[in-house]
Copies of this chain bind each other. A is one copy, B any other.
Amino acid sequence: MSLLKQYQEKYFRKFLNEFDKTVNDLFPDKISDLKDIFRYHLGLNDDPEKQGKRIRPLLTFLCTEGCGGIWESAIPAAIAIELIHNFSLIHDDIEDNGMSRRSKQTVWVKWGLARGINSGDAMFTSAFIALNKLEHKILSESLIDAYKLLSDTCLQLTIGQQLDIEFETRENITIADYYRMISGKTAALLSCCTQMGALISGLGLEDQMCYSKFGNEIGLAFQIYDDWLGIWGDPMVTGKSASSDLVEGKKSLPILIGLEKSKRFQERWLRKAITQDESATLAEWLCEDKVEESVMKEFRNWNCRALDTLSSLRCDKDIRSALFELAEKLLMRNR
């Protein structure tokens, strides 16, 4: 069994038990349907394999143990981060008009808009309640730092999301704007996981910032790769239609670079919405005009940076290997 898999097995049984218990403790009596909505969206009633990958808790535990901390002490933080991730999905699904997620109806489709918004809010605040269980496991000053880290991260997350929404109707988005958007929307929470591990283990701010940097770089590489998949990914594997981002008009990195580097793509894009039929041709143009190459270059750049940072981290040897494995898994998903 791979090293990563071994750690995962070591962590997940106890983590999932505590996660389940935390959610039940939030709603001791059945007076509203919030508990049902939480359990449904968090997948707590589903088979562990169908529950989503729980990448963020895994990253948090690995970084805690890698820094010499006790992984169990990070459980409240891992639960808090997983709740934040899931709250943001509930609200994103409303904002993007998303009907299904993980092969199930989204919360707002199943329970209506009002309950969808409000249960996301309840999940958001539950993250801060969950975090409080770190009390007496770490120093009070560290717990305050953890609150600060989590709330600052959430602000970055909402700023990134706001930019993503604004980009839909904005022209002239630069590559710098794009990086600002994905830094918040995708990288901030992954960076929170890795920094949180270092924080909980009692490392100082300097080491924490190295861990944060690693999480940020992984996050940027991850999002760029996701953007690549949105145009050139195999529909059988991604579960989306081919070149879906072209048809949806999403201003992802390939589009932004395409608008800069390919005249024929720019002309066609600005004229009117792209149909499914022509999307393959446009994806082809982007390859011929070296746009795909540029996207992959950006990806490889962040990928290398992440792995360099990982190599230089103060970290347990086996955990470092597991983190390399995790990075590879995240960044080489089914091309």
A residues in contact (CB < 8 Å) with B = 26-27, 31-34, 88, 91, 94-96, 112-115, 117-122, 124-126, 128-129, 132, 135, 140-141, 143-144, 147-148, 150-152, 154-155, 157-159, 161-163, 165-166, 177, 180
Contact = CB atoms under 8 A, between A and B. Distances in A.
Given A140-B144, A144-B135, A165 B118 contact: yes
B114 A129 contact: no
Given A118-B91, A135-B144, A143-B144, A34 B151 contact: no
B132 A162 contact: no
B148 A32 contact: no
A159 B129 contact: no
B158 A125 contact: yes
A148 B134 CA distance: 12
A129 B155 contact: yes
Main secondary structure of the interface of A (DSSP, over half): helix
A237 B166 CA distance: 39
Copies of this chain, count: 2
A125 B140 contact: no
A196 to B, nearest CB: 16
Given A95-B118, A154-B125, A33 B144 contact: no
23 contacts: A31-B180, A32-B162, A32-B166, A33-B166, A88-B121, A91-B118, A94-B113, A94-B114, A94-B117, A112-B165, A115-B162, A118-B162, A121-B161, A122-B155, A124-B125, A125-B154, A128-B150, A129-B151, A132-B148, A135-B144, A140-B141, A140-B144, A143-B144
B115 A165 contact: yes
Contact of A144 (B88, B144, B162): B144
Contacts of A27: 159
Contacts of A163: 31-32
A124 B26 CA distance: 19
Contact of A32 (B33, B113, B143, B159): B159
A140 B125 CA distance: 21
Given A128-B151, A144-B144, A148-B132, A95 B113 contact: yes
Contacts of A135: 144
A146 to B, nearest CB: 10
